Structure 1
């Protein structure tokens, strides 16, 4: 039975996202056990989505295998984890997975790319087209551009979809 009391929608969403995180953590713990890898799992709710991180010793080679080249393995594991959550809840998940701080570091780098592109668009008055990016990367750049006070849009088709920063 769903609580229809006014003001509980946020609490319902939070508990649903916490449930997603717990399901994902269980799935990932099983994966780590099968692969005989060491890592701790940290769960959080950020920006209206569940966030799960596998953390281990700094520069753990084992966890780097789960990241892969340019995060390719991490992207695949995120999709598998989302499918595991979907199987349990019946709802599509927007869960974000990070391993060994890869996404956190990537987010910092991409925020700088977005801010730099915004500055270039401001100074030249011309649109700035960036290299193709994954959906995660584009989202971070769009956020950085918005924080700099400009607009941006995505153009093209996957896997060649890119961000275009628009001048004021």
Structure 2
């Protein structure tokens, strides 16, 4: 049984999401997946128009059509979604990276859009991915960030990965990290992908699936 390692108490602290009320607890990504996984495009538009965006279905559908004609349709679509959720005076910027396009949502008082422990951000990420896969707005994988929260978290995860690798080598045994989302596990795997002294793999079932960091038996 691999030893379990928990992040330090302050590992993911200091973001605006820590100040939120309990209203933003819960697995919003899972809720959205249940709502939209088997829906048609029309059903998805109706759900967003009537409930999530507090606007009418026709208005949201029109916004999607306009987004498809924009310079960057995903940026325009994210702007429509976020503003219809009640957040004003926001800006959407984007940056093409090696394996994805990253969209940055910037503005004032966006802690609620991040959600507790990033739950609302992950729901927005999932929703954007669903829409993109169905409408083909952007060719590459898309990643959504809000006020730099995701990049700060990824930086902390990479540091956690390196510390865990060092511990696995020092102890000579497998180390199990705490359960993480698929996106967070991917950051850990990538962070250690060039480390020839350790290997990583995921183990368990959602929502308890976690990353195992283990010394390579054939390392020199």
TM-score by length of 1: 0.78
Q: Distance between the aligned counterparts of 1:76 and 1:92, measured in 2?
A: 21
Cα drift, residue 115 of structure 1:
0.2
Q: Distance between the aligned counterparts of 1:127 and 1:33, measured in 2?
A: 46
29, 40, 65: which one pairs with 2:112?
65
- Cα RMSD for the two superposed structures: 2.2
The unaligned stretches of length 5 or more in structure 1 are 1-18
Q: Distance between the aligned counterparts of 2:176 and 2:125, measured in 1?
A: 28
Cα drift, residue 82 of structure 1:
1.5
More helix by share: 1
Q: Distance between the aligned counterparts of 2:98 and 2:209, measured in 1?
A: 23
Contact 2:95 2:103 in 1 (8 A): yes
Contact 1:127 1:165 in 2 (8 A): yes
Q: Distance between the aligned counterparts of 2:137 and 2:148, measured in 1?
A: 29
- Cα separation, partners in 2 of 1:123 and 1:31, compared to 1, 3 Å: same
- Cα separation, partners in 2 of 1:33 and 1:91, compared to 1, 3 Å: closer
Q: Distance between the aligned counterparts of 1:42 and 1:103, measured in 2?
A: 15
The unaligned stretches of length 5 or more in structure 2 are 1-68
Indicate whether 1:27 and 2:77 are aligned: yes
Alignment of 1:4-153 (within 5 A): 22-34=72-84, 35-56=86-107, 60-61=108-109, 63-89=110-136, 94-149=141-196, 150-153=198-201
129, 154, 159: which one pairs with 2:207?
159
TM-score by length of 2: 0.60
Q: For 1:138, what is the secondary structure of its paired residue? A: helix
Q: Larger C-alpha radius of gyration, 1 or 2?
A: 2
